[in-house]
């Protein structure tokens, strides 16, 4: 072996060693198996997580700290069309059947499920209540790229639920509110924010003073997390914002879920694509900013 070739091999080995020794800021990372490979929303609930998948079914899965499924809950009395989000409070789980990829839905619904009625069986079938609503200005569109009322993000705050739209035409998001009580409503618009990307999930922390949104750009590329603090009332866009770019390469990385845990952790997850496995990521909230990567233009 020549000196030049030997030096090249040594440089390669040192480079590999440096990469393996580099400590990740993540607390943990777990690959998700079926039926969670299309995870589209999650919410922490004590030491557990509730998760939903991108399916036309009103199902919600309870996961333990090892990401094993403890329970599968099916709402049997309500037919879902496009489940895309989930949130919870002390008494209820709210399953967001709110997706509208093609821009042809007139009504959407949030399915309200009583926690105490779920019980402890591993497989549960039960009834839920429907919070049915419309967006007042929503119209059917001929082209998907002009659909400004697709929706995949939901959180609960006080006595209301809050939705964040996935505006395909201008890459912004509009914030709407709804009561938590079953019935028929027109969602109330609060504010619009230039998210510079498509919003796919929302969460609020335990102290109710920070909101996180996650999303990506066209083609599920360059996923990001937005953090809102110091907001006034329920206009989460009224305070300060920090943007965290999760990728510096154009991977097909479909990040569609985010949640705060009561333990100071932030959870986020992606659906499976050809380039990235379906994965749940966990990180200390205080380390989240360290994930920020400058996007290559």
Write the pLDDT tens digit of every residue in 74-83: 999 999 999 9
The pLDDT score that the predictor gives to residue 147 is: 85
Residue 263 lies in a domain: yes
Could you tell me which residues are beta bridge partners of residue 255?
Answer: 270
In a domain, 12, yes or no: no
What CATH number is associated with residue 175?
A: 2.115.10.20
**Res 170 pLDDT > 50:** yes
Residue 6 lies in a domain: no
Number of domains in the chain: 1
Provide the whole-model pTM. 0.90
What pLDDT score does 142 carry?
56
Is residue 128 within 8 Å of residue 58, measured between CB atoms? yes
Residue 45 pLDDT > 70, yes or no? yes
44 close to 60: Cβ distance less than 8 angstroms = no
pLDDT at 222: 97
- Domain span at 285: 28-291
Does the structure show a pLDDT above 70 at 140? no
Residue linked to tokens 């009583």: 114
Distance in angstroms (rounded) separating the CA atoms of residues 79 and 182: 16
- Give a yes or no: residue 1 inside a domain: no
The two three-digit tokens of residue 5, written as one number: 């070739």
Question: Residue 187: is its pLDDT beyond 60?
Answer: yes
What ranges make up the beta strands (E) of 116-239?
123-126, 129-135, 150-157, 160-166, 173-179, 183-193, 198-204, 210-217, 221-229
Residue 14 lies in a domain: no
User: CA 61, CA 71: separation in Å to the nearest integer?
Assistant: 6
- Which token pair is 27? 């607390």
pLDDT bracket for residue 139 (50, 70, 90): low
Q: Would residue 11 count as lying in a domain?
A: no
Does 22 reside within a domain?
A: no
- Peptide bond preceding 35: is omega within 30 degrees of 0, i.e. cis? yes
Asked if 207 and 229 count as a contact pair (C-beta separation under 8 A), the reply is no
Q: Which residue has the higher pLDDT, 54 or 114?
A: 114
Whether 8 maps to a domain, the answer reads no
Mean pLDDT of 28-57: 94
| Averaged pLDDT for residues 163-175 | 95
Convert the pLDDT of each residue in 106-127 to its tens digit.
Answer: 899 999 999 999 999 999 999 9
- Section 123-152 average pLDDT: 85
pLDDT at position 102, please? 84
pLDDT at residue 9 is higher than 90 = no
Task: Measure the CA–CA gap between 269 and 97, rounded to whole angstroms.
Answer: 19
Binned at pLDDT 50, 70 and 90, residue 180 comes out as very high
């Amino acid at each position: 072996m020549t000196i030049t070739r030997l030096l090249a091999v040594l440089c390669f080995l040192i480079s590999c060693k440096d990469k393996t020794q580099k400590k990740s800021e993540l607390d943990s990372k777990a690959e998700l198996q079926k039926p969670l490979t299309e995870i589209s929303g999650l919410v922490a609930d004590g030491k557990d997580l509730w998760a939903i998948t991108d399916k036309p079914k009103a199902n919600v899965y309870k996961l333990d700290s090892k990401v094993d499924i403890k329970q599968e809950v099916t709402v049997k009395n309500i037919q879902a069309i496009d489940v895309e989000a989930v949130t919870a409070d002390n008494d209820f789980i709210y399953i967001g059947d709110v997706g509208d990829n093609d821009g042809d839905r007139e009504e959407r619904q949030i399915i309200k499920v009583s926690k105490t009625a779920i019980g402890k069986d591993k497989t549960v079938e039960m009834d839920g209540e429907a919070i049915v609503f419309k967006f007042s200005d929503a119209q059917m569109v001929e082209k998907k790229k002009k659909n400004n009322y697709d929706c995949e993000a939901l959180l609960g705050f006080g006595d209301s639920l809050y939705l964040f739209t996935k505006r395909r035409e201008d890459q912004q998001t509009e914030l709407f509110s709804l009561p938590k009580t079953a019935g028929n409503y027109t969602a109330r618009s609060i504010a619009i924010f230039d998210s510079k990307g498509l919003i796919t999930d929302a969460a609020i922390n335990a102290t109710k003073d920070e909101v996180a949104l996650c999303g990506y750009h066209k083609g599920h590329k360059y996923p990001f997390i937005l953090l809102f603090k110091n907001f006034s009332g329920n206009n989460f866009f009224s305070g300060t914002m920090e943007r965290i770019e999760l990728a510096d390469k154009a991977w097909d990385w479909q990040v569609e879920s985010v949640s705060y845990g009561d333990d100071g952790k932030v959870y986020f997850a992606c659906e499976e694509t050809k380039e990235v496995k379906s994965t749940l990521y966990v990180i200390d909230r205080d380390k989240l900013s360290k994930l920020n990567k400058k996007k290559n233009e």
